[in-house]
Structure 1
Amino acid sequence: MKKLELKFLNEEGKVVTISVDDPIEPADPTLVHAAMDAIIAEGCFYSSGGDLVEKKEARIVERNVYGIEI
């Protein structure tokens, strides 16, 4: 399963991550930047450390889980 992780800094300087399942690939950096700017401008997410105030990074993360027969 792949996720798009959008990482922001809040008012306390702590990292806040918003994850989106099944991102469109390849990711368009221009659209990702625009979406992150809109999230900050609209103030639509709040964290325990205050509003999101700065973009930190964006990345696609893939996680593979394999069961082990016991």
Structure 2
Amino acid sequence: MKKLELKFLNEEGKVVTISLDAPAEPADAVAVTAAMDEIIAQDCFLSSGGALIQKKQARIVERNVNDIEI
């Protein structure tokens, strides 16, 4: 399963992560940057440490799970 993680800094300088399932690939860096800028501009998410004020990182994370038969 892949996720797009958008990481921001809040007013307290702490990292806040927004995760989105099944991102389009290859990732469009310009579109991701624009979306992150819009999230900050619209002030639409609030964390326990205040508003999101700065972009920190965007990444696609893949998690593989293999069951072990017992």
Same fold by TM-score greater than 0.5: yes
Aligned length: 70
Q: 1:8 aligns to what? A: 8
Within 5 Å, which residues of 2 pair with 1:46-61? Answer: 46-61=46-61
Q: Report whether the alignment pairs 1:39 with 2:39.
A: yes
Q: Report whether the alignment pairs 1:30 with 2:14.
A: no
Secondary structure of residue in 1 paired with 2:60: strand
Percentage of pairs with the same residue: 76
| Separation in structure 2 between the aligned mates of residue 68 and residue 29 of structure 1, nearest angstrom | 37
Structure 2 unpaired stretches of 5+: none
Structure 1 unpaired stretches of 5+: none
| Separation in structure 1 between the aligned mates of residue 24 and residue 49 of structure 2, nearest angstrom | 30
TM-score (norm 2): 0.99
| Separation in structure 2 between the aligned mates of residue 67 and residue 24 of structure 1, nearest angstrom | 27
| Separation in structure 1 between the aligned mates of residue 28 and residue 68 of structure 2, nearest angstrom | 37
CA RMSD of aligned residues (A): 0.3
| Separation in structure 2 between the aligned mates of residue 25 and residue 44 of structure 1, nearest angstrom | 25
The structure 1 segments of at least 4 consecutive aligned residues displaced by more than 6 Å after TM superposition are: none
